[in-house]
Chain A
Amino acid sequence: MADGIARILAKSTFDPEAFIAKLSAGGEDALLDLRQKVHALNEDTAQALKKNVYKNYSQFIETAREISILEGEMYQLSNMLTEQKSLMSSMMELPLVSDKAMVEGPKEETKEESPEEETRRNLAFLLEKVEGCSSVTEVPGRHLVHDTDLVELDPETHIQIQRVHAFLLSDSLMMATWVPTRRGAMRYRFQGLYELDSLAVVNVRDTGPVKNAFKILMFPETRMYQTDSAKSKRQWLDILEDTKKKKALKDKQRKEAANRLSDQLSLSPAMSPNGDAVPPGSPVASKEEEPVTMDTDFLQADWLQELPEDLDMLIAQRNFEGAVDTVEKVTEFLQACPKGPALKEFKARIEHRVKQLTDGLMSELQVSPERSLRGGPRAARHAVTQLIRLGKSAQACELFLKNRSAVIRYNIRQLKFEGATTLYIRCLCTVFFSSLSDTAKEFLKAFPDHYGCYSAFVIWAKHELISFVSIFRRQVFESKASLTTIAECVQLAKKHCAELSSIGVDMEFSLASMMDLPIQQVIEETRDQTVEGIRYRAQDEMWRPMNLQNKNDCDKFVADMKKTGFDIEQYVVDKCFVSLTQATVQFAKSSVTMVEDLMKLYTIELESLIANTIETVVMAQLAQIQSALKSDKFKSERPTILKNTQFVAEKVLGRIFELYQQNDLTCPRQLQAAQASYQQVKQ
């Protein structure tokens, strides 16, 4: 029936009004009937829904998690793309927008440190725009400072001659004429290149019809150009002046450096046996020329000239390996090269790129929130290897380890604390120690023969261990878990830690030393609690044998006790009585559990504490027995008391000794003494 209703309700053409009208015609009974059916249907549906949810629950959780991860990664991806896009657009704008260059005047100064960075790019752009300027772009170190469209005027008559585009380079001014018939990028033809040294600039005041003009005197020509605005002209004059000054300064520095070098070189000829003082002017100058030409020749090779550009490209493509290959090759080559200022300059250019390369590699290893940490340690190896090849093993090592720390932290954070402490600790140990061993293995692979870095690894491992222990401590010791749980957890950690020694990392002693104190505290707490328990139970102790009512239950109890390691068959009386008291049985159980746990925690350092703890507990029970024996109240129960005493002395202590033996430990003397005092009670 319910199915019928469900079918009716599920129909797409269901009309509630007609349905109700039809039913209400049947009277109250039909309605009640319907109500019941609807109710049943409702329940069924809820049940089915619940079942379905449950069935797919784990899948659902898994999917949700994956989706959230995917979402995060998509977000990162879109971020990276935006970044890339803005980078591209700024690169596109850079050589063209002269106004911007002016507005960012002060910034230009800071950029000055690495002007070569953009050199190649800018000049390559010239090649595409200006016909016949290849010779201009070949000069190393030259870069574009400023460029705009200008109108060339006749300097005499001020008549417009043609449209030109002026490119101010760092050391010269290039003029290119506009070719009106051209289409595409190549709109200009190379007109001339003028050295800044011999170039005079004249500001033509706005008198008469010509506005915003300036003259360039470059012997034997005089050229006059008109800008489109007063601002643009001001820019040109300022930038020309500025660039000239910078170039002059650079030339001066270079000259000084060359002089210094030649002074050193000429030191020996100055000491010539003739004793003639070398005239300071000419010979020095000639000597200075010599090494310069030599090393310039040496650097003239095609592949060397293109090398910085190639390096730029490789770095941009993130082909770090290729870049490092190139750097190694050139370093080797330059070693054979004669020393000179040109070499120095070239080296500086290479060095600059090496720095860029290093930065790139470092950022590869950098831990940043927007980077996914899901890559394994092998992901980092690539960058590390290249960094080592560049001779930056220390940085590589530091970054690699930092990266690993982040990965470990991330993985640990991924663990959810769900339910049992032991379960969580098991996962934690697995994650942590496997990460550690992965890292160690990877480290050995990535840094072979870099023994200096090994100490860094050891320190790192210690550091990681400390943070691991702090998590461990928070979860295990501070959660008021039982000794059993704690012992299990500690055992787990120790076991994992011991496994590390297979890869040559032995950290058991540091783990032990870090855990010793909390373990001691836990043991002491447990001891006090157990003693407290003994006292508490003694208050209600009547020293009566346990009555288990029937044989069945009695057998069950005996079997139960057997499982915990006690054979109590000899204490069974009349098939349903056990001559042990409830308190004794509980003492037996709790003390044995405690000893078992203590055995798990056993270390040489804790040996005496463990023995003392067991002794204290055992003696506390003895004290109860003794006071019971002395008490008049229990005079009639003496046989039972003695039986219990015997049980503790033989079975419980016996079991404790057994546990000691199982762990290959000798039974401490004080426990044997305790057994002796029990036996004294018997007599």
Chain B
Amino acid sequence: MSKAKAQQPAVIHKVIMVGSGGVGKSALTLQFMYDEFVEDYEPTKADSYRKKVVLDGEEVQIDILDTAGQEDYAAIRDNYFRTGEGFLCVFSIKEQESFQATQEFREQILRVKNDENIPFLLVGNMIDLKDQRQVSYEEATKRAQDWHVPYVETSAKTRVNVDKVFYDLMREIRARKMEAIRQNNGKQNKNRKKKKCVIL
């Protein structure tokens, strides 16, 4: 086990997929993880994935928690959200209700994380089915602007922007982490520097 650990990159970015049921959270995750699109819809309970990726030249691990859109208990959802460092809030562009639901998810995440600047992406999925669009690009962008978050449209089926949303989010998470380290007191900074020196 410890050997395996040595090979694992030390940095883990924890991403959580949120959104109503059936908007394609799992499809996005699976496309990202395994480059495959799953047609069959089966409601997720809560799945966690981990993958080694190279983020801007740095090897990191991404830990994706694919949550259940149908989870009945807010208390349990809180538990999921607490473990996350960044959120992909997914809705289906062909389903207005799912778009409306993002508001609720956003509020819950902010409440649980107690952080206005939590890494967060608003994701409009199913862009391959543009002809059935119910949520306009403008509408979604406006909401994203209100929240001060990016808005990205994706297709889990055609893999449009799939890697982008994950990597963008990871960058945000990384940026936040750096900031946190910077904000930390000098002592820890010193420690870090010392450590760095040793490595060098």
Chain A residues near B49 (CB-CB < 8 A): 204-205, 207
Q: Does A203 contact B (CB under 8 A)?
A: yes
| Stretch binding the partner chain, chosen from B73-81, B126-134, B173-181 | B73-81
Max chain A C-beta neighbours (<10 A), residue from B8, B76, B78:
B76
In the complex, residue of chain B having the shortest beta-carbon distance to the beta carbon of A205? B49
| Stretch binding the partner chain, chosen from A108-116, A217-225, A441-449, A512-520 | A217-225
Supposing A157-B5, A160-B1 touch, asked if A200 and B80 sit within 8 A by C-beta, the answer is yes
Q: Is B5 touching A159 in the complex (CB atoms < 8 A)?
A: yes
Q: Is A198 touching B79 in the complex (CB atoms < 8 A)?
A: yes
Q: Does A237 contact B (CB under 8 A)?
A: yes
Q: Is B75 touching A215 in the complex (CB atoms < 8 A)?
A: no
- Distance between Cα atoms of A589 and B185 in the complex (Å): 138
Chain B residues near A197 (CB-CB < 8 A): 73, 75-76
Shortest distance in angstroms between B54's beta carbon and chain A's nearest beta carbon? 16
Chain A residues near B33 (CB-CB < 8 A): 205, 207
Q: Does A307 contact B (CB under 8 A)?
A: no
| Stretch binding the partner chain, chosen from B40-48, B90-98, B138-146, B152-160 | B40-48
- Distance between Cα atoms of A160 and B75 in the complex (Å): 29
Shortest distance in angstroms between A375's beta carbon and chain B's nearest beta carbon? 59
Supposing A160-B1, A197-B73, A207-B33 touch, asked if A220 and B46 sit within 8 A by C-beta, the answer is no
Q: Is A200 touching B46 in the complex (CB atoms < 8 A)?
A: yes
A: contact size bracket? 20 to 34
Shortest distance in angstroms between B113's beta carbon and chain A's nearest beta carbon? 13
Q: Is A207 touching B50 in the complex (CB atoms < 8 A)?
A: yes
Chain A residues near B45 (CB-CB < 8 A): 201, 203, 237, 241
B: contact size bracket? 20 to 34
- Distance between Cα atoms of A241 and B75 in the complex (Å): 15
Query: Which residues between 1 and 27 of chain B lie within 8 Å of chain A, taking CB atoms?
Result: 1-2, 4-5, 8, 12
Max chain B C-beta neighbours (<10 A), residue from A157, A201, A237:
A157
Shortest distance in angstroms between B70's beta carbon and chain A's nearest beta carbon? 12
Give which listed residue, B12, B47, B79, contacts A200 with CB less than 8 A.
Answer: B79
Over the window 191-218 of chain A, the binary record of Cβ atoms lying under 8 Å from chain B Cβ atoms (1 yes, 0 no) is 0000001111111110111000001011
Shortest distance in angstroms between B77's beta carbon and chain A's nearest beta carbon? 8
Shortest distance in angstroms between B20's beta carbon and chain A's nearest beta carbon? 18
Q: Does A29 contact B (CB under 8 A)?
A: no
In the complex, residue of chain A having the shortest beta-carbon distance to the beta carbon of B7? A209
Q: Does A156 contact B (CB under 8 A)?
A: yes
Chain B residues near A158 (CB-CB < 8 A): 1, 4-5, 8
Chain A residues near B50 (CB-CB < 8 A): 204-205, 207-208
Q: Does B83 contact A (CB under 8 A)?
A: yes
How many A-B contacts at CB < 8 Å in the complex?
68
- Distance between Cα atoms of A158 and B61 in the complex (Å): 12
Shortest distance in angstroms between A15's beta carbon and chain B's nearest beta carbon? 88
Q: Does B182 contact A (CB under 8 A)?
A: no
Q: Is B46 touching A202 in the complex (CB atoms < 8 A)?
A: yes
Q: Does B111 contact A (CB under 8 A)?
A: no
Q: Is A202 touching B78 in the complex (CB atoms < 8 A)?
A: no
Q: Is B78 touching A219 in the complex (CB atoms < 8 A)?
A: yes
Q: Is B48 touching A215 in the complex (CB atoms < 8 A)?
A: yes
Q: Does B52 contact A (CB under 8 A)?
A: yes
Over the window 143-171 of chain A, the binary record of Cβ atoms lying under 8 Å from chain B Cβ atoms (1 yes, 0 no) is 00000000000001111100000000000
Shortest distance in angstroms between A442's beta carbon and chain B's nearest beta carbon? 61
- Distance between Cα atoms of A158 and B49 in the complex (Å): 13
Q: Does B51 contact A (CB under 8 A)?
A: yes
Give which listed residue, A203, A209, A217, A248, contacts B80 with CB less than 8 A.
Answer: A217
Shortest distance in angstroms between B152's beta carbon and chain A's nearest beta carbon? 24
Chain B residues near A248 (CB-CB < 8 A): 72-73
In the complex, residue of chain B having the shortest beta-carbon distance to the beta carbon of A220? B82
Q: Does B123 contact A (CB under 8 A)?
A: no
- Distance between Cα atoms of A219 and B82 in the complex (Å): 8
Q: Is A208 touching B79 in the complex (CB atoms < 8 A)?
A: no
Q: Which residues of B contact A (CB under 8 A)?
A: 1-2, 4-5, 8, 12, 33, 45-52, 65, 72-73, 75-80, 82-83
Jot down 23 A-B pairs with beta carbons below 8 A, ordered by A. A157-B5, A158-B4, A158-B5, A158-B8, A160-B1, A198-B79, A200-B76, A201-B46, A202-B65, A204-B47, A204-B48, A204-B50, A205-B33, A205-B49, A207-B33, A207-B51, A209-B4, A217-B80, A217-B83, A219-B78, A219-B82, A241-B45, A248-B72
Q: Which residues of A contact B (CB under 8 A)?
A: 156-160, 197-205, 207-209, 215, 217-220, 222, 237, 241, 248
Additional pairs, 18, CB under 8 Å, beyond known A200-B77, A208-B8: A157-B8, A159-B5, A197-B73, A197-B76, A198-B75, A198-B76, A200-B76, A201-B46, A202-B46, A202-B47, A203-B46, A203-B47, A204-B50, A217-B82, A219-B79, A237-B45, A241-B45, A248-B72
The 9 closest A-B pairs by CB, nearest first: A200-B79, A217-B79, A202-B46, A204-B48, A200-B76, A202-B48, A203-B47, A205-B49, A209-B4
